[in-house]
Structure 1
Amino acid sequence: MSQDLYELLGVDRDADGDAIKRAYRKLARQLHPDVNPDPESQDRFKAVSHAYEVLSDPQKRAAYDRGGDPFGGFGGFGGAEGQGFSFTDIMDAFFGGAAAQQGRGPRPRQRRGQDALVRMDIDLAEAAFGTARELKVDTAVECTTCHGEGTAPGTHPVTCTTCHGQGEVAQVQRSLLGEIRTLRPCPACRGYGTLIEDPCRECSGDGRVRARRSLTVKIPAGVDNGTRVQLSGEGEVGPGGGPAGDLYVELHVEPHPRFTRHGADLHCTVTLPMTAAALGTTLTLPTLEADLDDAEDDVQRDFEVEIKPGTQSGTELVQRELGVPGLRGGRGDLVVTVDVETPTRLDDRQRELLRELAGLRKEESPTGDVRPEQKSVFSRFRDAFNQH
């Protein structure tokens, strides 16, 4: 390895201080032990650091150019008086100059508050058509005594004398690489840079207190169970009177006595006597709007459904656009399922009439209609193929 310091850094002999510094940073990023643990690279890193230490100092560089040895031999990273290249120069190589020397500064006392989550129970009609509900919440609000500053009336935070308002204190340690300077949060002011000598008695210096307040929550039409409504800026006020977070209202839709919801569709079941299913009838059923107390007069509160003669149990009758409105427009359907009820208690006259009906229909001794299992299209195609 060449011992010429200029060749070690890869610069000309007339290079200025900035060129020497740029060359050293480039090599340090490549050869530093934390990046390249190879022993040969470590030795070269020491040599490059020695070269930079000499050539970055005008007096040592002049001595070297005259043919002398600034250290009286290869003295490593410091002379008898502890002089040598600073650890900051290595940090500069990785993080770029002044950025390695600058701290974060004092942290603000004002910070954004946390988001809050509350649950609200609503009924199916409110979820379907929307509503406005009053909600009482317990959250942190700004202290009205100190207006978020955290100090007693007439006083203000004072500059910390330990860190002089910087929020950080320097700690210097010696190592093989020289002096290592680190910044830590000031233990006196906890990094704020200021001290509250006389805290507000109402909030104990936090700048906020807990209080109960009322809010109006607007619930859009078409929400479902588990939907969260966001109220921006209605959550917890931050420390030091910082901006409030958001409040999320999670909706829980209570079960309905008549309807069940499947997406945008409503389902209900009507039970019909055997005679009504056989003869047919017309039913008048309530819509979901019938649950609304403040609905307008032109709202459809009921509808008629025609039961055709011979309707079987399990038949579904679809009523278009009587379901739940969608959040993005449109409306689902209302599906009415017919459940035919067979009488279990008959008097003598009723039993006689049913026997007469069975005789007329020649159903006195039914054997049951056993049907083969319905095959899929693929199964029928396979059977036809196997026959050839």
Structure 2
Amino acid sequence: MTDYYEVLGVDRSASDDQIKKAYRKMSRKYHPDIAGPEYEDKFKEVNNAYEVLSDPDKKRMYDSGVDPNDPNASAGYSSAGFGDMGDIFGQFFSNAFGGGGQGPTPRTQPGRDSLASAAIDLKTAVFGGTAHLTINTFGLCPECGGSGAAGKEKPVTCPDCQGRGMRQKVVRSMLGQMMTTVPCDRCEGHGTIIEHPCPKCQGHGRIRTTRKVGVSVPAGINDNTRLRLAHQGEVGEGGGAAGDLYVDIRLKSDKHFTREGDDLHCWIQIPMSWAVLGHQIDIETFDGTQKLDVPEGCQPEQTVSLKGLGVTRIKRPQERGDLVAHFSVRIPTKLSGDERRLIEQFGASHDEGKAQIRQSSRPASERKGFFSKLKDALG
């Protein structure tokens, strides 16, 4: 018997929340759309484990040593005294007095949700756009349209169970021999039989297919955001309604900008003369080329902000963050004779006789002035 707890990687004492959390982790890890088609069996095993452990009755049945996914074991369990006595007597008297069973299982089943990921560039995150991805999942069979039957044939009533989907079976119990109800072997509990299954889908009404999907990305989206596309997941058995498609958005790194919240940051290296005298430069932004003023006497790591050229605020789409330019000053390492004489003249007139050396425990950019200290003191 399969150890469903081991499949999900949890202890037998795990709570419902722990089981659910483990299932989400394992289903994402082994989903064929992410891990690859070769993990489809493992993905089904994870889903089977969760189906049992998330259902109180099936979990109680499994913990007593019977696998609910085994029809024969289920029948033995329900009539052998391992479960609730009310279930035994309820089943006995419902069969004895003609009570109805659970009825045939519909051939059409809803499809499961699918999970995929898409990588977008920073500009798409700033303005929004469309992410294109390819997914491999179950789609409607084009030959039979989901019916599972060749041509336009209709399923016929099962001659063994007369359409009930269940059959009676004699089992032994602590009360003696009893009549119980199990799914019909011939129709697998559906109550009908497809005499000529569709050759393309083998009667399932769906086939594995690859298709392209366009995902609308809202402006200002954050990294690792999950988007939901209703009814874009896998089609169910028998052409059942498709589940949802969940897409995890990943942001690619950008060679010009770094994002911090709704602001964009860039680092610009300027020559020493521009830092001293000031200068106007052109920089590239997501809004095109913009002019930026280097302030006179610009210090290393000094910043200048361009308002409204950052990331769109996702909760206030009419607003955007800022673009923050950080300056680094390029100090020349090799000077010509004339250049050296000019620098020496500058030093003689500007630096001689002045206290140019200051020693501190913190960088100059972290030291605060009087008003900043007063503001901190007042809270």
Q: How many residues align structurally?
A: 280
CA distance in 2, matches of 1:314, 1:225: 27
TM-score, length basis structure 1: 0.64
Q: CA deviation at 1:316?
A: 2.0
**Equivalences for 1:246-257 in 2 at 5 Å?**
246-257=244-255
Question: In the alignment, what sits opposite 1:352?
Answer: 341
CA distance in 1, matches of 2:308, 2:88: 70
CA distance in 2, matches of 1:202, 1:195: 18
Secondary structure of the 2:312 match is: coil
Question: In the alignment, what sits opposite 1:123?
Answer: 121
Change (3 A) 1:203 1:179: same
CA distance in 2, matches of 1:236, 1:344: 63
CA distance in 1, matches of 2:181, 2:367: 79
CA distance in 2, matches of 1:214, 1:90: 52
Secondary structure of the 1:312 match is: coil
Change (3 A) 1:160 1:94: closer
The answer as to 2:359 corresponding to 1:370 is yes
Q: CA deviation at 1:263?
A: 1.6
Secondary structure of the 2:119 match is: strand
Q: State the percentage of identical aligned residues.
A: 37
CA distance in 2, matches of 1:372, 1:261: 30
Q: CA deviation at 1:364?
A: 8.8
CA distance in 1, matches of 2:165, 2:239: 20
The answer as to 2:138 corresponding to 1:103 is no
Gaps of 5+ in 2: 1-83, 374-379
Letter in 2 for 1:360: S
**Equivalences for 1:102-181 in 2 at 5 Å?**
102-177=100-175, 179-181=177-179
Change (3 A) 1:277 1:367: closer
CA distance in 2, matches of 1:267, 1:337: 7
TM-score, length basis structure 2: 0.65
1:92–1:98 Cα contact (<8 Å) kept: no
Gaps of 5+ in 1: 1-87, 291-301, 381-388
Question: In the alignment, what sits opposite 1:209?
Answer: 207
Matching residue within 307, 321, 324 for 1:332? 321
1:358–1:364 Cα contact (<8 Å) kept: no
**Equivalences for 1:258-277 in 2 at 5 Å?**
258-277=256-275
Question: In the alignment, what sits opposite 1:319?
Answer: 306
Q: CA deviation at 1:323?
A: 0.7
Letter in 2 for 1:185: P
Q: Which has the larger radius of gyration?
A: 1
Aligned-residue CA RMSD (Å): 3.3
CA distance in 2, matches of 1:120, 1:150: 33
CA distance in 2, matches of 1:326, 1:308: 29
Secondary structure of the 2:223 match is: coil
CA distance in 1, matches of 2:350, 2:221: 52
CA distance in 1, matches of 2:268, 2:200: 62
CA distance in 2, matches of 1:335, 1:99: 77
**Equivalences for 1:276-287 in 2 at 5 Å?**
276-287=274-285
2:95–2:180 Cα contact (<8 Å) kept: no
Change (3 A) 1:371 1:139: closer
Question: In the alignment, what sits opposite 1:84?
Answer: none
Letter in 1 for 2:345: E
**Equivalences for 1:290-305 in 2 at 5 Å?**
290=288, 302-305=289-292
